[in-house]
A and B are shown apart, each in its own frame.
Chain A
Amino acid sequence: MIIKVEGLTHIYNPNSPFETKALDNVNLEIAKGEFVGLIGHTGSGKSTLIQHLNGLIKPTSGKVIIDGVDISAEGANLKDIRQKVGLVFQYPEHQLFEETIYKDVAFGPINLGLSEEEVDKRVKEAIELVGLNYDKIKNRSPFELSGGQKRRVAIAGVLAMEPEVLILDEPTAGLDPKGRDEILKQIKKLHQDFNMTIILVSHSMEDIARLVDKIIVMHKGRVSIVGKPKDVFKKADELEELGLGVPQVTYFMRELKKRGKKVRDDIITVEDAKEEILRLLRGNGNA
């Protein structure tokens, strides 16, 4: 297990009128190389949880263990942890600040105290990992880029630290469908080609359905459902009660089943739905 969270509770502004329990006895495990989707209504505790995973917030009680190290313990080396667990915030392009793309991406590696050659190598790799042309853009200002490109540069800034775990908080927020698809394609590639452990926070059930191995559903500061997408999205009613939903094709297959068609109820992507309906229609002659 690369990430282990035990009895994690976090209270904001304790002993004040604004006291709020953001996390309430959260327990979870994430294995190395897993692609996890973290979903939940706004205010469910998702962002508080991910900020615990690289030590930006300290638990009120409970433990966060990364790769065997208890990072909530006194004297934990936060620099090490932040290198190991890369966190990309929402709208990461709002954190760009350097004159050139090269310098901005190099910010993390330099903070890690790496040698110049190593920084150089990592910056180049990171920029290419997000699908941008290193030689073409390294000396350009990050502020000249389009919204989607800026965001990719910002993600490269985290990748350049070579994290083992990459956490992305709604990496596609505010992008148009084209920009969204590009970013998701890159994230998928990081998972497939480099076996990176990825935690994706998203509001889009369609995106979650076609990408992740495991879904963690948060509600009111607790983990309420954990499981494979196929199993989690079977619980449409339960998810709706939590202010969430399932992909449109899943609703469709459910409706079909209700009308007496013998179809599987664990269909979550358009491709699977197509196969299933073809099987149904061709198998039964034409129903």
Chain B
Amino acid sequence: MSDVMIKLENVTYKYESNENEGVVALNGINLSINKGEFVVILGHNGSGKSTLAKLINALIVPTSGKVYVNGMDTQDEENIWHIRRTAGMVFQNPDNQLVATIVEEDVAFGPENLGIHPKEIRKRVNEALTAVEMEEYKDYAPHLLSGGQKQRIAIAGVLAMKPECIILDEPTAMLDPSGRKEVINTIKKLNREENKTIVHITHYMDEAVEADRVIVMEKGNIILEGTPKTVFSQVEKVKQIGLDVPQVTELAYMLRKEGIDIPQNILTIEELVSAL
């Protein structure tokens, strides 16, 4: 068993659109994500980050190049179901990914599709709901839950398939701050306590601060990659492509420009306070 969870080798993806033919969504991407890693992918709408997520889940296959999930080639039809249960996926709109009219039935949907024994499904559903701290809501109708709660149910639905890796495609984009916090805390907990590999796609930079690695995408290319500190210390480059940096990082950057002696890689309030 190798330590690599996801591997992209020179992956290009083109799609046909109404106006211009052959839009390049991903342009020769090379990427390797290790087991247990917490990776955040930042980028604009249209930077290719969602395409990347769909490629990993074998919902689409690359135009050229190879995508491997836990060593399985996504282009091999036989692997598809194994890949999808290995790398589960959570989508942006909480309303459009819940299937059943009752929370626990929705969480059971994945394992039911895998043909798992009813007793085992029941066990997994209970565990998954506990993991996302939604066990009290098991008999609720999804439409009565808040956005953050719905997303946690969606995460539980993926967990019940016992994946090693979870890909989240902008799961917080449609949530309010408290919903965002709920989802982020859940993701962090799953990474820390259950050692799930996390690929979290977002355009909120504050969600990237605690990641192991940040990948910034722009126009189908990876343009920055590294620890949050190394990425956000390049304030100018990040702002130039129109992404945010934390306010304290920006403040530190402005102070440095004024000739104040503070380190370049400030990310948190605490760091800046001590630096001053």
Binding site for B on A (CB under 8 A): 41-42, 144, 146-148, 173-179, 181, 203, 206, 243-245, 247-249, 251-252, 255-256, 259, 261, 270-271, 273-274, 277-278, 281, 287
Q: A146-B45, A259-B273, A278-B255 are in contact. Are A174 and B173 (CB under 8 A)?
A: yes
B244 at the interface (CB under 8 A from A): yes
B76 at the interface (CB under 8 A from A): no
A178 and B248 contact, CB distance less than 8 A: no
A273 to B179 CA separation, bound complex (whole angstroms): 29
A248 and B246 contact, CB distance less than 8 A: yes
A42 and B146 contact, CB distance less than 8 A: yes
Closest to B250 in A: A270
Give the top 10 A-B pairs by smallest Cβ distance, nearest first: A178-B242, A248-B247, A176-B203, A176-B44, A252-B269, A249-B247, A274-B254, A42-B176, A177-B244, A176-B45
- The secondary-structure label for the interface of chain A is helix
Q: A42-B146, A176-B45 are in contact. Are A252 and B242 (CB under 8 A)?
A: no
Interface hits, B157-195 → A, CB 8 Å: 173-174, 176-179
A90 to B46 CA separation, bound complex (whole angstroms): 21
Distance to closest chain A CB from B260 (angstroms):
6
Contact residue among B45, B244, B270, B273 (Cβ-Cβ distance under 8 Å from A179): B45
Distance to closest chain A CB from B124 (angstroms):
31
What is the number of residues of chain B that contact chain A, defined by CB distance less than 8 Å? 32
**28 A-B contact pairs sorted by A residue (CB < 8 Å):** A41-B178, A42-B147, A147-B45, A176-B45, A177-B44, A177-B203, A177-B242, A177-B243, A179-B45, A181-B242, A203-B176, A203-B177, A243-B177, A248-B247, A248-B248, A249-B251, A252-B247, A252-B248, A252-B272, A252-B273, A255-B270, A255-B273, A256-B273, A261-B276, A270-B254, A271-B254, A278-B255, A278-B258
Distance to closest chain B CB from A250 (angstroms):
9
Q: Which residues of A contact B147 (CB under 8 A)?
A: 42
12 additional contacts, CB 8 Å, given A176-B203, A249-B248, A255-B270? A42-B176, A148-B45, A176-B242, A178-B44, A178-B242, A181-B242, A249-B251, A252-B251, A256-B273, A270-B247, A274-B254, A274-B258
